Structure 1
Amino acid sequence: MIRASPAEPDPVSLAISASLLDAVIELSRTAGERILDIYARDIAVHHKDDDSPLTQADLAAHQTIVAGLARLTPGIPVLSEEGADTPYATRRTWPQYWLVDPLDGTKEFIKRNGEFTVNIALIENHAPLLGVVWAPAKGVGYAGARGLGALRIEGKVRAPIKARAAANPPVFVVSRSHKDAALDTLLAKLPEHDAVSTGSSLKFCLVAEGSADLYPRTGPTSEWDTAAGHCVVECAGGEVLRLPDLAPLRYNEKDSLLNPGFVVIGDRRAGWRERLLAAA
């Protein structure tokens, strides 16, 4: 079970305390401050083995978050993009773990367009229970926790958010940096729609807050890219499903940490499942 602090009792299974959510929100803010310190300077970019970019900001946020989570929940392991070398034989035994992307949208960070986020999620039994997405350059965050709902945070103002009933025409979210032929094919088979683009996990948040209706993704993502936004969407009343079978997107079920294609749906009653199955 989750221990929010040494003085607090363990909540019942699948319940998250408001104090734990608050602590993770503050930790994401702190990591965001570390990122902005580097964002204000010349950015040194290196490349990992898969040629994806890595900056000092990724590493600084990683160190801040890992240390903060170790203090907050010392018994729960952490899987972070910048420390993702834990073998599956070990992590498959974890009933709970933190799944972290210290800087989601490194390409957007390098472009200096502000569309990058800190992602922190708590996973239990292959599903997200708590998620925080913080956009440091925008000063805006989104958070969700099972049993507590979802909210948008700007400054000291917190407002509940809810996925909306589908608009006419619907609004689809498309990736700013990762559009591909498979996505073009899928979009051509779906209803006429307006499109908006943004980077990082902010795509999930547009659906969660009721600014968009659907976010289909056919290009590659990793589990740390999606878990926090996934939780926010579900807590706002939406759902995140695999493509093409539309089963729930799950975590830590295989050796690879790559996701299949998926779709984020805001309005569960709008018939998107049927349209997507027909398009597939």
Structure 2
Amino acid sequence: MPDLLPFALEAARAGGDAILEFYGQPLTVDHKADDSPLTQADLAAHRTISSVLEGSGIPILSEESPESDLEGRASWSRFWCVDPLDGTKEFVKGSAVPPVTSGEFTVNIALVEDGRPTLGVVHVPVHGVTYSAADGQAWKQMGDNEPMPISTRAASNALTVVASRDHAGPEIAAILTRIEAGGRSVESTSMGSSLKFCLVAEGAADFYPRTVPTFEWDTAAAQAVLEAAGGGVSARDGSVLGYNKSDLRNPSVFAWGDPALEWASWVPSRAAP
């Protein structure tokens, strides 16, 4: 594995450990300007991850970075793109009484070079599962076991489509209808956080459409894993996602495992009004 992957793995697992110190405990939940939730765990993970990644000498763009840390980022050709806690809503459910959660929140760390994620780690703290990718290879590691190579699967007439638990909507339903109208059967499964991409990467699903907003830190690490596993991530028009944009929001995102999958025929050129 390339030299920078151990930095990302160490940082992701340390961030996960920091999150678990708050898991299942009473939480204070604040809300940011976009109304997304923010907890002590998000900030603790950010600080822990940053302290590890700083040792690489590469700048860090984290969801929780203060603006002062991002001055001059337009000139960065290489940087870490970090979501310290992807799936905060799912994490917060662990503090309910009784807890109602699947533990499907993740730590996402990607290395972005010249606008493309080239290395990625998606770590699932509750389950001890880690997906990683570097140098065109992708792996899944269960606990302390050896990492095992993963790859996408060839699409068949029976597709598994994964959708966001909290963000699916009528356009996703319309896409599923179009798939079935084309003669394929569809099994739809729901999952939180960046694990949706990872399901496609490990050949457990075929297609993941996401038509509501995401940010660069939501997608970079999992995109690196999926691309290394043989799949891809595109915008609605088929173009690749760019990173370190002036606006860190992504357009609609479509992730696929089989390069021959004609997913664009199921997706309207623009969202319905």
Give TM-score scaled by structure 2 length. Answer: 0.89
Q: Is the 8 A contact 2:107 2:124 kept in 1?
A: yes
Tell me if 1:178 matches 2:167: yes
Q: Can you list the C-alpha shifts for 1:223-247, whole angstroms capped at 9, x where unaligned?
A: 100000000000000000001x111
C-alpha contact 1:223 1:259 (8 A) present in aligned 2? yes
Alignment of 1:146-157 (within 5 A): 146-147=135-136, 149-157=137-145
Q: Which residue of 2 aligns with 1:61?
A: 45
CA distance in structure 1 between the partners assigned to 2:10 and 2:69 by the alignment: 30
Instruction: Give 1:275 deviation, angstroms.
Output: 4.6
Q: Name 1:104's counterpart in structure 2.
A: 86
Hey, what does 1:4 align to over in structure 2?
A: none
CA deviation profile, 1:53-104 (whole Å, cap 9, x unmatched): 1001000000011111101x11x11010011526987222110011000000
Query: What CA distance in whole angstroms lies between the structure 1 residues aligned with 2:66 and 2:247?
Result: 11
Q: How many residues align?
A: 259
In the alignment, the residues of structure 1 paired with residue 76 and residue 253 of structure 2 have an alpha-carbon distance, to the nearest angstrom, of 24
Does 1:252 find its partner at 2:244?
yes
Residue identity (%): 48
CA distance in 2, matches of 1:278, 1:168: 24
Name stretches of at least 5 consecutive residues in structure 1 with no aligned partner. 1-16
State the shift of 1:156 in Å: 1.9
Query: Secondary structure of the equivalent of 1:178?
Result: coil
Which 10-residue stretch deviates more, 109-118 or 265-274? 265-274
Structure 2, unaligned stretches of length 5 or more? 95-100
Change (3 A) 1:52 1:268: same
Deviates more, 1:209-218 or 1:183-192: 183-192
1:134–1:142 CA contact under 8 A, matched in 2: yes
The aligned counterpart of 1:231 is: 224
Q: Which amino acid aligns with 2:32?
A: K
Give 1:266's match in structure 2, choosing from 242, 251, 257.
257
Paired with 2:219 and 2:269, the residues of 1 have a C-alpha distance of 25
The one-letter amino acid paired with 2:169 is D
1:39 aligned to 18, 23, 28, which one? 23
Which of 107, 118, 132 pairs up with 1:143? 132
Cα distance between partner residues in 2 of 1:210 and 1:152:
12
Amino acid at match of 1:250: G
